[in-house]
Amino acid sequence: MNKLFQGTYTAIITPFTQNNVIDWSAFEKLIDHQIAGGVEGIVFVGTTGESPTLSHSEHEEILRWSIKAVGGRCKVIHGTGSNNTRESIGFARVAADSGADGHLVINPYYNKPTAEGLYLHFKAIADSSDLPVIIYNIQGRTAINLETDTLLRLAEHPNIVGVKEASGNIGQMMDVIRRVPEDFCVLVGDDALTLPFMACGGDGLISVVSNCLPGPTSEMVRKCLSGDWGTARTSFYQILDVMHVTMLESNPIPVKAIMAELGFCQKNIRLPLTQPAQQTMQAVGKAVDTIRQLADYEV
């Protein structure tokens, strides 16, 4: 059976101007860079896109604008998650109306629902439109883990087509890959686990590091999918140090600093996130040198 989402999907940053508003010109440059790098898709308004600090109107504006900006050149996935089921349904309908290829829905954070509450939350969102749903399981940001048994119940829904597994638990990831239906997509959400995850049978990556290395990252994932493990392993280790730098502080602080140093945007970030520490910036500088060696940047 064909899987709807395989390959590399960049969780793209949201650039801001000095006045702390969305920098649409820089946003277009970032999108063009991703497409030139050959990624299979772009995820808008995820955590990497600073979704917690976007207003409701900004969130909707990005969802609608992104479809036009991408213009069919790759797949578009919209972040529509919330710990308020009704709010998430509202964003899901905007994503469906605007023409997205799918939407990413995170575990409800802070209110810590039961397994049944998680099931009913995701089911209600999936029922609200025909847009394919990718569930985003990340206990570290939500204080709740979506257990595999609950995921399997949700996988029976025709609109729930995949999961972004960012639990950090390789055992759980293997259990998910082993037990889900053949046409269900399992994507990793931790860049540094890409190689072992793909070796276990994963379908791809929703990536932070591909913001700055879309070409090498997407090519590495394609090599994994084709079974060329020798080339994939070499590519993975070439970019592993950059992956580590992107996680030195809360995402997207380091990767936004990297993209600013590369000239794609300004390094403005919204509170409560802050500018990188001096030690992080030293690592960012080394990462930028590595990136320039691995990719051809024309800014």
Amino acid identity of residue 9, one-letter, is Y
Per the CB < 8 A criterion, the answer to whether 101 and 41 are in contact is yes
Instruction: Report the interhelical angle of 148-155 vs 115-127 (nearest 10°).
Output: 20
Pick the catalytic residue from 9, 119, 123, 136: 136
Paired tokens of 95: 């994503």
109 is catalytic: no
119 is catalytic: no
Pick the catalytic residue from 164, 256, 267, 297: 164
Q: How many CB atoms lie within 10 A of CB 220?
A: 27
Q: Give the integer Cα–Cα distance in Å for 66 and 63.
A: 5
Which of 47, 28, 21 shows the shortest CA–CA distance to 268? 21
Alpha-carbon distance values, 276 to 53, 157, 245 (Å): 18, 42, 11
Q: Which residue numbers are catalytic?
A: 136, 164
